[in-house]
Amino acid sequence: MKRASPTHRQSPLPLFAAVLIALGGLVAVHAQGAAGPEVKLPLGYLPLKMDRSVDPRQDFYRYAAGQWLQQTEIPASDPDIGSFALLGHQLDKKLLSLIEEAAATTEAPKGSPRQQVGDFYRAAMGNARRDALGLKPLEADMKRIAAAGGTPADYGRLAARLQGAVGGSPLIMVGAMPDAKDSSTGVMVLAPGLQLLEQDEYTRPEHQKLRHLYHMYIVAMLNGIGEPIDAAKTQASRILSMEAQAAGAMLTPLQQRDPANTYNIMTLDQAQALMPALDLRVYLAELGIAVPSRVQVVDINAMKTLQKILTERPVDEIKLLLRWFLLASRAPELGQPWRLQEEAFTVERKGLKSPPEQAQVVTQQIGAQLYHPLSQLYVQAYFADSTRRDITEMVGHIKAEFAARLHSNAWLDEATRNVALEKLGKMDIQVGYPDDWVDFSGLDIRPGDHFGNVQRANRFAFQREISQIDKPVHSNRFAVATKTTPIAANSAYNVTNNTIDITAAILQPPFFQPGGDAAANYCAIGAVIGHELTHGFDSQGRQYDPQGNLRNWWTPEADRQFQQRTDVLVDQYNRYEILPGLMHNGAQTVTENTADLGGLTLAHAALQRHLASHPEAKAKVDGLTADQRCFVAWTQMWAFKARPERLRFLVSVDVHGISFVRAVAPLVHLDAFHRAFGTRPGDAMWRAPEQRVVIW
């Protein structure tokens, strides 16, 4: 599950993400610098990226991508570099060009994509006005917090006000998502409040330096609003203590992946009994939400801990937390010194050499908040219908290959096989962009009000979400900000509606080259398609039936066989050392690792079908057979460099494997890989046949 960014710029309730399984996850969405890195080698499969002096049987990663690793440096304003980041830089340049063109247009109709995108950008780049406003945009909410008492109604009103104004609250969050057991209907969800650090970062010894940095950041910000240094230091310690207490009670990222932990359906009164210190009816009324027929509480222990915090801590401490959250959450939208303080903290936290340029940060923000207006401009300018047709055809080939493998799967019994085939048959896969765009025309974007634009955009997103409570679920496709929108370089499977969105942005190098080598395309974008198909049948996705409802359709024997195979992957990935003493988390990443293995297996098998009808594609190119090019293309796609801070962060929270692990780990399970490169016992890349895993 993707947690909130340090600045809480988006409506951050991590609910829909719980049912969305994406290809690139956190790697795909970090902000980029406007200028981008100096790219010495083009994106996509390229033999020049290889280091043929390396024996592929000993170190396939450096054999396939050694020259890329030698020639590519992490840009000063980036935490990492790899396929997603490099494509992100190219996308950002295209998007910024479209945005600047829109900003130069003054006659676009109100509510049109061009008007909204252009005016948002002009307001965001208007630093003089933001500096002149100072803290004025926060004054009313600061006064509300200062004047509040410590009654349940007070806490309910303040939590609601923050969620409405900021898009989140440190106390509690409300949203909507499809009911896991009746995915056609929305259910109201109560979740723990938001925090600026990740769960492990509040407690683990290796993050002590970050906690010290965070403490200094809080002190600086509080001092800036008038608190004496000594008082600010004391307040910062209390804020950090409360955040750590709340974080320690929350489900871990791995626990959040299990619906058994999060699907807790009850009445509002039962939810209220978990935390009587915050009046839920007042909270919902302030947000304009009617009392629902049922509530899903996603983290019961976190709610009980909130009750302890609200009753055991003095009211002045709770108000400190709320004031800090408001200030930190809105700092990027304020003028100097607030946004510069936030920028400096983020740079230091990520280990960057310099901050990303403002224009690029704003581009990312527009992509997150005005995702369909900007996507419409992008699709019109850059996405070819021929690409949509080509990928749709490839989807059909890979889906047919999966069906054939389900039919012949030796470890599935007939009862489980039949439901698996039904689920695959009902899986709806769309390419590029939606047939129907989300209507943003009612969102008021003004050219001189950046603070208000962000607030109204958060509210717009929130209203769309809560409108589904106890009602039919929105069927909008390509509409999860930063995850499935056409401008997100990603693809994703949604477990509750059994659908896959393959975005327009990912359908270009390094993932797809129109008219390019079939071997490279099948084992890049084809493996991406297979990856998403497999998500419907991984440790999480397999818990949902063909209609997207949470239901166990597996026989005990099929369940045992599946678990036995994925346990091998957990053990394998646990053995990879990411940094000295920092090991990979095989259990946390098992769904993505299963999808990587399934995706590459399906892509290679579909490639063989393609080669059977296109024998000319079997010829060697640059001295490599089609199979060899396939596996080299896969590894080049995942070539990756990252700063230590980034790697620690990813290991802590990401459900995806580290990219340089993904580059080679699935290969050792494919017989075809061992045949293609002639591996033998004793080789570093060798894995004995009886230890190779075949799942799908």
Distances in whole angstroms, Cα of residue 385 to Cα of each of 185, 284, 333, 432, 668: 34, 45, 38, 9, 37
Number of domains in the chain: 3
Same domain, 260 and 347: no
Give the range of the structural domain holding residue 111, as residue numbers without chain letter. Answer: 81-134+335-382
pLDDT for 19 equals 64
Distances in whole angstroms, Cα of residue 59 to Cα of each of 51, 53, 407, 519, 686: 10, 11, 36, 21, 11
* pLDDT, average across residues 467-496: 94
pLDDT for 373 equals 98
Domain stops at, among 346, 363, 382: 382
Q: Percent of the chain having pLDDT more than 70?
A: 95
- Residue 301 maps to a domain: yes
pLDDT for 30 equals 38
- Residue 5 maps to a domain: no
| Angle formed at CA 237 by CA 232 and CA 242, multiple of 5 degrees | 125
Same domain, 226 and 360: no
DSSP per position, 162-223:
HHHHHS--SSEEEEEEEETTEEEEEEEEEEEPP-SS-GGGGT-GGGHHHHHHHHHHHHHHHH
- Residue 501 maps to a domain: yes
Same domain, 204 and 59: no
Look at strands 491-494 and 499-503 and give their pairing. Answer: antiparallel
pLDDT for 618 equals 87
Over residues 597-614, the pLDDT tens digits come to 999 999 999 999 999 999
Same domain, 420 and 568: yes
Same domain, 109 and 194: no
pLDDT for 15 equals 44
| Angle formed at CA 349 by CA 345 and CA 353, multiple of 5 degrees | 90
DSSP 50: -
Both structure tokens of 659: 């990219």
Same domain, 615 and 669: yes
* pLDDT, average across residues 107-131: 96
Over residues 527-543, the pLDDT tens digits come to 999 999 999 999 999 99
Quickly state the pLDDT bin for 317 (edges 50, 70, 90): very high
Same domain, 521 and 661: yes
- Residue 649 maps to a domain: yes
Same domain, 430 and 531: yes
- Residue 66 maps to a domain: yes
Q: Percent of the chain having pLDDT more than 90?
A: 89
Look at strands 265-266 and 491-494 and give their pairing. Answer: unpaired
Side-chain-side CA neighbours of residue 555 (13 Å):
13
Q: Report the CATH number that the domain containing residue 664 is assigned in CATH.
A: 3.40.390.10
- Residue 533 maps to a domain: yes
Quickly state the pLDDT bin for 12 (edges 50, 70, 90): very low
Look at strands 640-642 and 80-82 and give their pairing. Answer: antiparallel
Q: Report the alpha-carbon distance of residue 505 to residue 383 in Å, rounded.
A: 8
The burial of 673, by beta-carbon neighbours within 10 Å (0-12 exposed, 13-18 middle, 19 or more buried), is given as buried
- Residue 256 maps to a domain: yes
Same domain, 85 and 66: no
Side-chain-side CA neighbours of residue 101 (13 Å):
12
Q: Report the alpha-carbon distance of residue 604 to residue 526 in Å, rounded.
A: 8
Both structure tokens of 592: 């993505």
Over residues 59-102, the pLDDT tens digits come to 999 999 999 999 999 999 999 999 999 999 999 999 999 999 99
Check: CB of residue 29 under 8 Å from CB of residue 488. Answer: yes
* pLDDT, average across residues 164-190: 94
Both structure tokens of 687: 């894995």
Over residues 363-386, the pLDDT tens digits come to 999 999 999 999 999 999 999 999
**Bond prior to 510 in cis (omega within 30° of 0):** yes
- Residue 47 maps to a domain: yes
Closest listed residue to residue 504, CA positions, set 331, 385, 584: 385
Same domain, 266 and 253: yes
- What does pTM read for this prediction? 0.92
Same domain, 372 and 389: no
Same domain, 95 and 243: no
